[in-house]
Each structure stands twice: as C-alpha cells, then as structure tokens.
C-alpha cells in the first residue's frame, strides 16, 4: 500500500488535490448548453466510484506496507464503515447543489462561496477531530479566506447589477444555494476521517480503515444516495424543465466519458487528500484541498470569462479576492509546517 511518509510530500498531495477539486467542473462547463447538469452528474458519480475501486486494487493493495484493500475491508468495524458511507451521502447532497450552482452562476461564483464556506467550517471541525497545526496561523488563514468569499459575493452582485440581462433574484438564489452546499460540504470529511487511524496508516488500529478502503465506502455512499438525490432533482429541477431517465441514454459516448472523467479527476484529488491527512492532519489536508476555490475561480475568470463586462470596481474586487485567498492558503500551509 502506498503511504505518504513526509509533511512536504503531504503538502504536494494536497496541492494536487487543490488542482483536481478546482478543475473537475471544467468537464461540466464543456458540456453546458449541450447536456443538462442532472444527466452529467450521473456520469460524474460513476467516475468517482470506478476510480475508487481502481485505486483500492492498485495503490491500496500493492507493496508490503500496510494491509491490502480486501484485508482491510474485512476487518473494518461496522461503525467506521457507516461513518464513511454517511460521509458520502452528505457529500453527494452538497455537491449536487454545488453543481447546480455552477450551472446557474458559474465556477467563479459557486466555488468561492460554496467551497470557501466549506473550507472555513471544515477546517474548524477537522481541527477539533485532530488538533494538528498552529492554531493562530490557521485562524488567520481562515479569516482571510472568509473575507475573500465575502468580496467575491459582492463582486458577483455588482456585476449582475451592471449587466443588462442580470436577474437579481436569480443571483441571490444561486448564492444561497452555494452557501447551503458549502455548509453541507464542511460536514462530510470528519465522518470519513473518523473511520481511519490518522496516526498510523501502515498498521492502523483494529477496526479502522486505510484511506483506500475509506474512499471506496465513501464513494459507495455517493453512488447509492444519487439514486435518491438526483432522481428528485430530475423531477423537480432548480432551473429548467424536468428531465427523464431515457434522456440519459440519448447522449453520445463522448459526452458520457467527459462526465466520467470529471468524476475521476475529483476522485484522484479526494484519494490524495485522505492519504495526506496522515502526515498533515485532517484540518491542514482538508483546508489546502479546499483551496480548489482559488483554482476554480481562476478557471472561471480567465478561461470561461464569467466576469466579462464587469466594471473597474468589480475587477478590483476580484483581484482582492485572489490576493486574500492566496495569503490565507499560504498561512494554512505554514500552520502545519
């Protein structure tokens, strides 16, 4: 089983997580206007699940260190399995709302608001779970990220007000949905982390799981809960007309593969984040991973031009948001050094 042995490598893994979690939504953007996000989301979830199995039977089973995936799953206690599974259910509810907000408001808005809030609350909850890191630097870093979120929301509202086709009620709706998604997103990680022995991945305590096993159980929770959550959303969409199951099968193979790729990208980030948690601690690992907000905002602003047409004030606010995010994330990294 592959295990991270140093804090430096753990930070590198967290940065890869940041890139993956901040980039997967580009696959949805590629299909926007061609494929409803509810249909995209089925492929996305399938991609997460398939990747978790591939990782468990390769990196999680090869080598001499630690238990293999099947051995680890066989000895895991029911309470730890339930926690990881429930973490997947919570994540899926949060992420499907976030995906809807991305479709409605764009990556440069949904991520900073939703994932930024998840970062703030998640770091606090995970620090309580395992108090690793300098609490002062961690607190200042979280405060700066909070300010960045507020500035981003202000910039979005001002951009909507200066747009001829801006719908103020719609902008408020997507910000509210992003906030709800962020609050829910902050809750899933402690459930998954509690099912693992964060102090020893090589020889985890009896009944605890390795990250590879936890990821599979977590992904199973996502897959099964999607049968409920996405089915409801297809019948009562947040925007647009209802979608039918038969619509899913009208998509070309290329469209489905894009969605699966999006799920695999997110799954890679999730696996690396949990592997890094053993050395960095869950608060640092989760906090850095949620720096995906910065990556997604860059994609939204620079590539997808989601703030095009905004005033000079809006552009200044966006620059300020980026500066605060970068400094805040730097302090979070330093907090664990």
Q: For 1-47, what is each residue's pLDDT tens digit?
A: 888 889 899 989 999 999 999 899 999 989 988 999 999 999 999 99
The fraction of the chain above a pLDDT of 70, given in percent, is 95
Which residue pairs, CB below 8 angstroms and at least 24 apart, start in 239-244?
239/100, 239/103, 239/104, 240/36, 243/36, 243/38, 243/39
**53 pLDDT more than 60:** yes
Is the residue at 205 inside a domain? yes
Does 166 score more than 60 pLDDT?
Answer: no
Residue 97 CB coordination number (10 Å) = 23
Predicted pLDDT of residue 168: 59
Q: Find the mean pLDDT for residues 127-142.
A: 82
| Residue 286 resides in a domain | yes
Burial 169-185 (b: 16+ CB within 10 A, else e): eebebbbebbbbbbebb
Contact between residue 293 and residue 111 where contact means Cβ atoms under 8 Å apart: yes
CA distance 245 to 250: 10
List pLDDT tens digits, range 63-89: 777 789 999 999 999 999 999 999 999
Interval 244-291: pLDDT, tens? 999 999 999 999 999 999 999 999 999 999 999 888 888 788 777 877
pLDDT category at 155 given cuts 50, 70, 90 is: confident
Is 3 a domain residue? no
**Distance, CA of 301 to chain centre:** 19
Q: What is the pLDDT of residues 320-330, one digit of tens each?
A: 989 998 898 88
Q: Which residue has the higher pLDDT, 95 or 132?
A: 95
Residue 271 in domain: yes
Which is higher by pLDDT, 212 or 302? 212
DSSP state of 205: P
Phi, psi of 56 (to 5 degrees): -65, -40
| Across 84-100, average pLDDT | 95
Structural domain contains residue 187: yes
Host domain of residue 138: 13-335
Q: Is residue 5 part of a domain?
A: no
pLDDT band at 169 (very low <50, low <70, confident <90, very high): low
pLDDT tops 80 at residue 336: no
Question: Is 247 exposed, middle or buried (CB count within 10 Å of its CB: 0-12, 13-18, 19+)?
Answer: middle
**Phi, psi dihedral angles at 136 (to 5 degrees):** -65, -50
pLDDT of 109 higher than 70: yes
Name 11's Cβ contacts closer than 8 Å, sequence gap at least 6. 276, 280, 288, 333, 336
In this structure, are residues 40 and 256 in contact, taking their beta carbons and an 8 Å threshold? no
Q: For residue 77, is it within any domain? A: yes
Give the chain's domain count.
Answer: 1
Range scoring the smallest mean pLDDT among 45-54, 65-74, 113-122, 328-337: 328-337
Does 273 fall in a domain? yes
Residue written as tokens 């339930």?
Answer: 82
Predicted confidence at residue 86, as pLDDT, reads 97
């Amino acid at each position: 089983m592959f295990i991270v042995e140093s804090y430096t490598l753990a930070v590198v893994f967290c940065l890869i997580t940041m890139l993956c979690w901040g980039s997967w939504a580009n696959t949805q953007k590629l299909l926007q206007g061609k494929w409803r996000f509810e249909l995209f989301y089925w492929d996305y979830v399938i991609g997460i699940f398939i990747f978790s199995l591939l990782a468990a039977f390769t990196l999680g089973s090869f080598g001499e260190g630690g238990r293999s995936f099947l051995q680890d799953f066989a000895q895991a206690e029911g309470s730890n399995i339930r926690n990881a599974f429930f973490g997947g259910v919570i994540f899926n509810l949060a992420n499907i709302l976030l995906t809807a907000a991305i479709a409605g408001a764009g990556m440069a808005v949904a991520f900073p608001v939703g994932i930024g809030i998840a970062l703030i609350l998640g770091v606090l909850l995970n620090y309580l779970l395992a108090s690793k890191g300098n609490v002062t630097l961690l607190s200042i870093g979280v405060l700066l990220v909070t300010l960045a979120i507020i500035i981003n929301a202000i910039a979005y509202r001002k951009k909507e007000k200066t747009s001829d086709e801006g719908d103020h009620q719609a902008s408020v709706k997507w910000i509210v949905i992003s906030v709800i998604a962020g609050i829910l997103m902050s809750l899933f990680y402690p459930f998954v982390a509690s099912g693992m022995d964060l102090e020893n991945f090589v020889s985890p305590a009896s009944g605890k799981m390795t990250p590879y096993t936890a990821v599979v159980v977590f992904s199973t929770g996502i897959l099964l809960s999607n049968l409920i959550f996405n089915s409801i959303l297809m019948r009562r969409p947040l925007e647009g007309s209802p979608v039918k199951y038969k619509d899913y099968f009208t998509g070309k193979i290329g469209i489905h593969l894009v969605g699966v790729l999006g799920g695999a990208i997110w799954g890679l980030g999730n696996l690396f984040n949990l592997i890094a948690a053993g050395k960095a601690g869950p608060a640092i690992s989760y906090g850095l991973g949620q720096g995906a907000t910065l990556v997604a905002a860059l994609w939204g602003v620079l590539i997808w031009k989601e703030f095009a047409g905004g005033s000079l004030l809006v552009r200044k606010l966006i620059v300020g948001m980026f500066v605060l995010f970068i400094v805040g994330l730097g302090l979070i990294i330093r907090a664990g050094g």
